[in-house]
């Protein structure tokens, strides 16, 4: 009888854990961000909460607990409701543009090879971050002549098949950063479907330490970018960049009403074993119909390609 009591108690514990996981999947916005940016930390790795589901079923079976087994269905249903669409076959939705976004890394030892790999996807627009003065000539020389239209502002650049106009630096620098920190640009691409404002941005990195999820500079930079986007006069906008934000992170809301494809995970970082997509292609008054990860290059990020309908 004592053993049975312990099993029932353990079953209730497993059931409680299952309810917590299901709650986090569905109501992750309820996790406060006031202490250590815990909410953003959970949202950065939100899909990986699914890894807790098999152990929950295993514990329910081991404890012979019907309550725990039924409760373990809750996070399974929640995960499928949130991320199940990522597992479905891709549809061939119509699109007008193909774009590639890549943080090429300032330590990339093969910039020419990286440029050729990106061009092989035959995109219309190529956005690059962490461009260094030493490597920039190699990227420019390796990209085909069809990308003759380009602009580089600070450490970010945009190459285009279409004419670019109004290219300028976008100041998204956090107040505590030096004046040489320039990681944003804006240009207008004259696409066959009309003028589109294209932004390339590289928000500050985040760190996980004793104080929690260190995202304050990133969030400040995101708010500055969001203010620029809110003032953008053109209705159709494409934002590409290493935002150090996943699509589930509440910090993304600072950029305003932007959308992206949610049909695939397309994890981009770190390149050797990607666990999160912090490289993004977002749109306003355009539709990102598909996202996919491209093969690894000499960077610590993987490139992502997207299809866009104007």
Higher pLDDT: 89 or 227? It is 227
Query: Is pLDDT above 80 for 6?
Result: no
Query: Is pLDDT above 90 for 143?
Result: yes
H or E segment and range at residue 7: helix 2-26
- Predicted TM-score (pTM) of this structure: 0.93
Query: Residue 4 — pLDDT band, cuts 50, 70, 90?
Result: very low
* Token digits of residue 207: 């760190």
Higher pLDDT: 4 or 292? It is 292
Looking at residue 8, its pLDDT comes to 52
What would the mean pLDDT of 59-72 be, rounded to a whole number?
Answer: 93
Looking at residue 9, its pLDDT comes to 59
Closest CA to 220 of 187, 275, 181: 181
CB 286 within 8 A of CB 247: no
Q: What percent of the chain has pLDDT over 70?
A: 97
pLDDT tens per residue across span 12-38: 999 999 999 999 999 999 999 888 889
Q: Within 10 Å of residue 250's Cβ, how many Cβ atoms?
A: 17
* Token digits of residue 138: 């190699």
What would the mean pLDDT of 61-74 be, rounded to a whole number?
Answer: 94
Query: Is pLDDT above 90 for 93?
Result: no
Report the side by side order of strands in the sheet with 287-293. Answer: 149-153, 156-160, 125-129, 97-103, 304-309, 287-293
Query: Is pLDDT above 50 for 149?
Result: yes
Q: What percent of the chain has pLDDT over 90?
A: 88
What DSSP state is assigned to residue 44?
Answer: H
Residues 58, 63: Cα–Cα separation, whole Å: 9
Tell me whether residue 89 is exposed, middle or buried, using C-beta atoms within 10 angstroms of its C-beta: 0 to 12, 13 to 18, 19 or more: exposed
pLDDT tens per residue across span 211-266: 788 899 999 999 999 999 999 999 999 999 999 999 999 999 999 999 999 888 99
H or E segment and range at residue 289: strand 287-293
Query: Residue 44 — pLDDT band, cuts 50, 70, 90?
Result: very high
What would the mean pLDDT of 269-293 be, rounded to a whole number?
Answer: 97
Query: Is pLDDT above 80 for 131?
Result: yes
* Token digits of residue 110: 């093969």
């Amino acid at each position: 009888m004592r053993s049975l009591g312990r099993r029932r108690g353990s079953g209730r514990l497993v059931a409680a854990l299952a309810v917590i996981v299901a709650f986090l999947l569905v109501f992750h916005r309820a996790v406060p961000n006031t202490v250590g940016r815990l909410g953003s930390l959970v949202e950065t790795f939100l899909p990986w909460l699914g890894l807790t589901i098999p152990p929950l079923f295993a514990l329910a079976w081991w404890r012979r607990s019907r309550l725990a087994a039924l409760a373990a269905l809750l996070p399974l249903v929640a995960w499928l409701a949130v991320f199940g669409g990522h597992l479905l076959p891709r549809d061939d939705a119509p699109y007008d543009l193909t774009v590639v976004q890549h943080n090429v890394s300032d330590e990339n030892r093969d910039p020419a090879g990286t440029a050729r790999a990106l061009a092989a996807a035959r995109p219309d627009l190529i956005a690059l971050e962490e461009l260094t003065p030493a490597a920039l000539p190699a990227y420019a020389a390796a990209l085909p002549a069809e990308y003759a239209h380009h602009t580089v502002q600070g450490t970010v650049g945009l190459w285009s098949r279409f004419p670019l106009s109004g290219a300028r630096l976008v100041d998204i620098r956090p107040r505590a950063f030096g004046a040489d920190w320039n990681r944003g640009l804006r240009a207008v691409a004259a696409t066959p479907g009309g003028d589109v404002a294209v932004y390339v941005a590289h928000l500050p990195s985040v760190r996980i330490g004793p104080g929690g999820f260190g995202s304050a500079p990133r969030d400040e930079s995101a708010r500055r970018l969001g203010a620029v986007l809110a003032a953008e006069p053109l209705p159709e906008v494409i934002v590409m960049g290493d935002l150090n934000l996943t699509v589930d992170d509440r910090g993304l809301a600072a950029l305003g009403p932007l959308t992206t494809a949610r049909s695939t995970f397309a994890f981009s970082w770190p390149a050797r074993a990607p666990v999160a997509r912090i490289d993004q292609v977002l749109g306003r008054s355009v539709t990102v119909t598909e996202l996919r990860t491209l093969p690894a290059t000499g960077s610590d990020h993987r490139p992502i390609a997207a299809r866009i309908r104007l």
